[in-house]
Structure 1
């Protein structure tokens, strides 16, 4: 059985997808211009592992005859699976329409015309989304109101992956520049 996700052609296809320009892009297709980082994938995997234990507990409780308790356990399992999927899908997505910043609880979509500036700046950034801050780089979206941090080099996607952060920031800045002019 071929495993294309572990071969070198997958890397070529990822780089080809990252180099798609606005003129070549489909309007309705949202692309993440980078791969999810190992910290994000590990967090999603741990949540899915926890969900499997919760579902197994629901099965045991249902077999014991306490159906309302089993239903509560199953609902908790569905909530954990939903959180894992949202965690894995969070990040920055781009299309010819605009830019979508997906978080764990909220997703914001802006047209390219609403994004006044997209630039990389040196500033204190949160380490893995925790309250602790370190000096790093951030990709900042300047639109009407306060600037919004889209990506940092210390978030779950780019911690210890400096080149991947630079490449993703360049792709997003390129899409923003191409949309404005």
Structure 2
């Protein structure tokens, strides 16, 4: 029985860590799999949410429904944050490049993309303020040719200690960019 979150892998072996197939090019898709750090953090957040939900039930059974509602609301916030954490990353389609952050999503049409390239530079380690030397996949926009915005890094939650997965993801995004850039 195929699982719904694995159906995009039907053309590939599940042991391979390759980009998703391009069946429907108008649909937004992430050309790489979420990394173990991202999935682990989301799993821990969902585990915490289950304990908070259980606490809400116990509080409701003891008679304080308003406090149970507050605790239940907190658990919903934790669940929403875990799901958003799983969506963070770079998504591509025929329409453009979408950089999904935890709080903000930016979409850049291919017409506005000047270049997508991999560069050696100091990168943030797991999104924290500490920087280390690594590689970053950057995008240069036509309206700001001197400014390169990092999309993916070798020390992010998706690619930490997985340099070959970063190379495949960078190659996939660069391929989308070279195929779809117009003008």
Matched with 1:10 is: 14
SS of 1:36's equivalent?
A: coil
Calculate the aligned-residue CA RMSD, in Å: 2.3
The aligned counterpart of 1:174 is 175
Output aligned runs, 1:87-126, within 5 Å. 87-126=85-124
Structure with the bigger percentage of helix: 1
Using the alignment, how far apart are the partners of 1:100 and 1:180 within structure 2?
14
TM-score by length of 2: 0.88
Higher strand share: 2
Indicate if the aligned counterparts of 1:25 and 1:96 stay in contact, CA closer than 8 A: no
Q: Any runs of at least 4 consecutive aligned residues in structure 1 with deviations exceeding 6 A, and if so which? A: 1-4
Instruction: Please tell me whether the aligned partners of residues 141 and 147 of structure 1 are also in contact (alpha carbons under 8 angstroms).
Output: yes
Deviation for aligned residue 1:91: 0.3
CA contact (8 A) 1:52 1:77 kept: yes
Aligned counterparts, 1:33-112, within 5 A:
33-112=31-110
Query: How many corresponding residue pairs?
Result: 175
Q: Residue 58 of structure 1: SS of its match in structure 2?
A: helix
Structure 2 CA distance for partners of 1:75 and 1:169, relative to 1, 3 Å: same
1:130-149 → structure 2 map (5 Å cutoff) = 130-143=128-141, 144-145=143-144, 146-149=147-150
List runs of 5+ in structure 1 lacking aligned partners: none
Can you give the 5+ residue segments of structure 2 that lack an aligned partner in the other structure?
Answer: none
The normalised TM-score by structure 1 is 0.89
